[in-house]
């Protein structure tokens, strides 16, 4: 059960790039969580998954001796949900289906993956910890950085400073 949860329903076993597969699997799950309760429940669930992830990753590290198994992607789910939070807030505030903000969803996904892979600043510091907290925390930082850029892009797009796509406001 521990590995099923840490691999986010098995998505962490997909190859190549299990982190990308885990991030992709996080998208429909985030939609469901948002649909069930909006941004508040998305934030709560991300925090709960973070705590569960640290706990279960500690158990996995103790059992396997591997300090950062590539199949653990629950951290990507948490980071991706953090990156999607501005989209969830925007859709909820506007009273629209979150899928109407699909350019923001794509931006959140791409930006999160860029920050997660390149590991700038705090992302890299957390990753170098070599423990369960580091496994989870680097993706929290990557998600926070992506969420910040997504929020800025959203503000620019909705202020008319960025070119919008047909059908977008």
Contact 77/25 with Cβ under 8 angstroms? Answer: yes
Contact 122/148 with Cβ under 8 angstroms? Answer: no
Task: Give the pLDDT confidence score for residue 158 in this predicted structure.
Answer: 84
Task: Give the pLDDT confidence score for residue 118 in this predicted structure.
Answer: 98
What is the phi-psi region of residue 125: left when phi exceeds 0, alpha when psi lies from -120 to 50, beta otherwise? alpha
What angle is formed at CA 13 by the lines to CA 7 and CA 15, rounded to 5 degrees?
140
Task: Give the pLDDT confidence score for residue 165 in this predicted structure.
Answer: 57
Task: Give the pLDDT confidence score for residue 146 in this predicted structure.
Answer: 98
Span 46-60, pLDDT tens digits: 999 999 999 999 999
Task: Give the pLDDT confidence score for residue 160 in this predicted structure.
Answer: 76
Low-confidence stretches of the chain (pLDDT beneath 70): 162-169
Task: Give the pLDDT confidence score for residue 169 in this predicted structure.
Answer: 52
- Tell me the angle at which helices 74-94 and 18-64 cross, rounded to the nearest 10 degrees: 130
């Amino acid at each position: 059960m521990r590995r099923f949860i840490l691999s986010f329903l098995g998505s962490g076993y997909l190859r190549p790039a299990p982190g990308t597969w885990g991030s992709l699997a996080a998208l429909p799950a985030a939609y469901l969580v948002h649909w069930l309760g909006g941004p508040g429940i998305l934030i709560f669930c991300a925090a709960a998954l973070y705590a569960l992830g640290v706990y279960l990753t500690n158990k996995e590290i103790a059992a396997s001796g591997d300090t950062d198994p590539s199949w653990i992607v629950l951290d990507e789910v948490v980071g991706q949900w953090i990156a999607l939070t501005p989209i969830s807030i925007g859709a909820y505030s506007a009273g629209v289906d979150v899928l109407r903000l699909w350019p923001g969803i794509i931006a959140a996904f791409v930006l999160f993956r860029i920050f997660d892979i390149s590991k700038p600043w705090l992302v890299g510091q957390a990753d170098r910890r070599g423990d369960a907290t580091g496994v989870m925390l680097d993706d929290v930082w990557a998600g926070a950085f992506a969420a910040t850029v997504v929020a800025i892009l959203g503000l620019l797009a909705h202020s008319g400073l960025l070119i919008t796509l047909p059908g977008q406001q």
